[in-house]
A and B are shown apart, each in its own frame.
Chain A
Amino acid sequence: MEKATSLTCIGGCFGASRKPTEFLCLLLKLLQLQPDRKMVDVLVEQEDFKYLRALALLYFRLTEAPVEIYQKLEPLYRDFRKLRMRTETGSFEIVHMDEFIDTLLHEKETCVVVLPVLTRRMALEDAGQLPPRISPLDNEEDSDSDA
């Protein structure tokens, strides 16, 4: 975890030799350690280390059930901090936390990790397992319209 706090970027493999990033190595370490749910919650909810949060989010996405993933990840759309992401060529890109979460929820693969299939949000809503999403902007607009 000390190492995870000192992370400087997220990303998969890079370079000609497909060298894995520290991010990926630590993800593997997490999967080996299999920390319990509380621990992961703490890691996700802490605000100090954004890369640690990203790591925990990816771990959460890989291990937990769809409903919980939606419940846990969607509130974090609020977080718009910058993340440095390492591309396959070895260069860096800026990705925001909300973009990262969006890829986690909507893409099939991120950081060279194939994500498990996630049930579509609409299906869950229809099944009554999940309330419709309320964006912080919705509230804003409501308040604007009210004002």
Chain B
Amino acid sequence: MNKATSGAKVKRYFPGKAPEGSAEHDLSASESDSEQETVRAPKHGIAIAKLIRPQDIDKPEASSHSSDSDSESTKRLLKARLYARQAAAEKEEEEESSGSDDDIQQQRAAYKEQAALRHHQQAPSESASSSSESDSESMSDSSENERVLLKPVFVPKSKRVAQVQTESKKQMGISASSDRNREESVQLAAAEAKRAREERELEKCSEAMADDNDDVGVDAEFEAWRLRELLRIKRDKEEQEAAEQEEEERSRIQGMTEEERHAAGLERARKQREEKARRRAELAAEQAEQAKLESSDRATQEMLQYALNREKPRSSNSKWKGYRNEDTSRSQALWAGGRQLPQASQTPRHAAADRKK
């Protein structure tokens, strides 16, 4: 038949022909076969499960199974076999498309085991009726359908990776945020505890610092109070005086006649003008002082330059160039005692330097 069912005891079947061998034998065989297929079907996912749909075939039969005639049973078998073959073909295609030979072998072995197990379990109840079997099949299929109910949504290949990443990221994010929350809460609690402790300490130490005992040094306390009281009295008195002065001023202005008030206004204006002039004069004087200082500075500078020139004349400033060596008036003076003045000894060098310039 095909690879998938080669292990099981299956005889060749031609569609449209009655199966070989006796009907009884075939019944059991076909049942085992279809059963095998239905067992295999869930493993291969949605496509096969949809393809087989054994309950579609079996359910009407189950209702009409009470007659249990030979022709009906053969029809049913035919249908079952047809679906089984289809399913097998499908499976083969899938197997060929995906998976190596080893994988196929392993899968097949697993299927065989499962099928054998099922067969052994159902062997005692096999003779009872096929309706129960069909029920169980429909049950299994309904459970299959539940899984199928999750509507497959097409996700393009480009988006698949992104989806996986986002999912993993989400998981990561959740775990990270929970960690962060925990850390934050721990930190908060620590800060709270620390603050409470600090406050308590502060309270303790400051309470120790501030002493509000009234019994110590009553006399000193009284003196201090006396001082404060006097200050208060003084303050009150000053306040009162200020208020009285203000009142007086106000009454004075109110008591004046129109001419007097005008005169007072003129007087005030005059005072203001005078004040303005005085300040302007002050400013002018200040500026003049500064200017003078600057000019005198310049004069002293010039004078200094002149003096320096006189003391040590520049070669360009002198009319007498190179005659200093010939000057005998100083070196041969009687009171000098033949002693050379330091200035005279230095002169030739100076002259030479001057000449070079």
Binding site for B on A (CB under 8 A): 8-9, 15-17, 19, 50, 77, 80-84, 90-94, 96, 98-99, 102, 121-122, 133, 135-138
Contacts and interface: CB of A to CB of B under 8 A. Distances in A.
B221 A80 contact: yes
A102 B236 CA distance: 12
Interface in B218-237: 221-222, 224-226, 228-230, 232-233, 236
Given A77-B232, A90-B202, A98-B228, A122 B213 contact: no
Interface stretch (B25-33, B204-212, B295-303): B204-212
A81 B218 CA distance: 10
B168 interface: no
B354 interface: no
B103 interface: no
B247 to A, nearest CB: 10
Interface size range of chain B in the complex: 20 to 34
Nearest to A136: B229
Nearest to B222: A80
A15 B228 contact: no
B274 interface: no
B239 interface: yes
A9 B195 CA distance: 21
Instruction: Please classify the interface of chain A as helix (H, G, I), strand (E, B), loop, or mixed, using the class held by over half of its residues.
Output: mixed
A91 B206 contact: yes
Contacts of B259: none
B207 to A, nearest CB: 7
A93 B210 contact: yes
Given A122-B239, A133-B236, A137-B233, A99 B228 contact: yes
Contacts of A133: 236
B212 A83 contact: yes
B240 interface: yes
B225 A96 contact: yes
B286 interface: no
A92 B207 contact: yes
A137 B202 contact: no
16 contacts: A15-B199, A15-B202, A77-B229, A80-B221, A80-B225, A81-B214, A82-B213, A82-B221, A83-B212, A84-B210, A90-B206, A91-B209, A94-B212, A96-B228, A98-B225, A136-B229
